[in-house]
Amino acid sequence: MPQIKNISIIGGSGQQGTPILKALLLSKHFTITAITRSSSPSTSPPGITVTRGDYSSSFLESALKNQDALVIILGVAAPKDLQSRIITAAASACVPWVLPCEFGPDGASREMMDGLPVLAAKKGVRDEIEAAGDSGWLGIVCGLWFDVNLKNAFFGLNIKERTVRLYDEGTTVLSTSTLDQVGCGVVKLLSLPSEKLLKYRNSFVYINSFHVSQLDIFHSLLKATSTEEAAWKVTKVPVHNAITEGRNALAAGDYKGGLDMFVGMMFKEGAGGDFRPKSNNGDLGLVEENLDEVVAQVVKKVEAA
């Protein structure tokens, strides 16, 4: 199997796709094609070929001809069958490598799979790629996106309101990654010699910026905001209760309330949110980031908003 050179990306203009596309471009290792709808207002940076079409099967297959790898990053509003159509087209075009919409929790964790229905759907996609037989999948496990989730208070720590909501005692560790670290990890992975990349075929690749608890993040926030703990309102909730309440909220159509199910599972001891033993950072040559530096950057953005 030849070294990867030609890469297509679908969904490269969104919050997650932009840093991945940027990292691929800056590496100068690849010829990159952004595939997008004709009606999309999105633009791509110089140096990237943009192929626009109607996302029909014939268009997708034609757009994916002679590509070595495909990165798929679809938004939550994307049609439910779109990724399946893309995978079928990639198989017909004989694309050797597909990075499907993983970029999150560990799909190899049985408890995480049982606790988060969205992961079951992701497994169906991986199975579909394997069944097609012409492509191999590479599943990027990066945990929660650290900078995005801290900025939006999804870790239970609200910078603007100075509140902290701990799951249990706040000491459970999870593995998490910044947007830029994931972009760098994708570049490192797809730059591997073909014989080394083959060992990851149809398996997960684990990328992280750090392995931290809520208290670790809180203590870093105290430094970044030059505040004392007394300036923050700290509450605690049993993680099992949070997950149950989040699941009930989601069932009632409250998607924001449903975040407790998702984030709570990540902070549930032994559920798979902490994947330190599986980390592939060393194999890929990735260096963990400095928590205090990243937190300070997030605080600066929040306070400037």
Percent of the chain with pLDDT over 70: 99
Q: Can you tell me the distance from the alpha carbon of 4 to that of 29, in angstroms, rounded to the nearest whole number?
A: 9
Q: What is the CATH number of domain 144-176+209-276+285-304?
A: 3.90.25.10
Domain 6-141+178-206, what fold?
Rossmann fold (3.40.50)
Mean pLDDT to the nearest integer, 282-295: 97
179: pLDDT strictly greater than 70? yes
Q: What pLDDT is recorded for position 80?
A: 84
Distant-in-sequence, close-in-space partners of 177: CB < 8 Å, separation ≥ 6: 142, 143, 145, 146, 185, 207, 208, 209
273: pLDDT confidence band, cut at 50, 70 and 90? very high
Q: Can you tell me the distance from the alpha carbon of 63 to that of 129, in angstroms, rounded to the nearest whole number?
A: 18
Element housing 84 (H / E): helix 82-92
- Going by their DSSP bridges, the two strands 174-177 and 210-212 should be labelled as antiparallel
One-letter identity of residue 88:
T
Number of Cβ within 10 Å of residue 171's Cβ equals 13
Tokens of 8: 């297509």
Residue-wise pLDDT for 146-156, tens only, equals: 999 999 999 99
Torsion of CA 92, 94, 95, 99, to 10 degrees: 60
Of the listed ranges 36-40, 69-73, 77-81, 270-274, the least confidently predicted one is: 77-81
| Domain layout of the chain by residue ranges | 6-141+178-206, 144-176+209-276+285-304
Tokens of 303: 């306070």
Residue-wise pLDDT for 1-30, tens only, equals: 568 999 999 988 788 889 999 999 999 999
Instruction: Supply the DSSP symbol for 31.
Output: E
Residue listed under structure tokens 């690749």 = 205
Tokens of 44: 């791509």
Residue-wise pLDDT for 32-49, tens only, equals: 999 998 888 777 788 899
Percent of the chain with pLDDT over 90: 86
Buried/exposed 213-244: b ≥16 CB within 10 Å, e otherwise: bbbbbbbbbeebbeeeeeebeeeebebeebbe
User: Which residues are bridge partners to 99 per DSSP?
Assistant: 71
Top-confidence residue, 227 or 74 = 227
Q: Can you tell me the distance from the alpha carbon of 216 to that of 209, in angstroms, rounded to the nearest whole number?
A: 14
DSSP per-residue letters across 108-151: T-HHHHHH-HHHHHHHHHHHHHHHH-S-EEEEEE--EEHHHHHH
254: pLDDT strictly greater than 70? yes
Answering whether pTM is above 0.85, one says yes
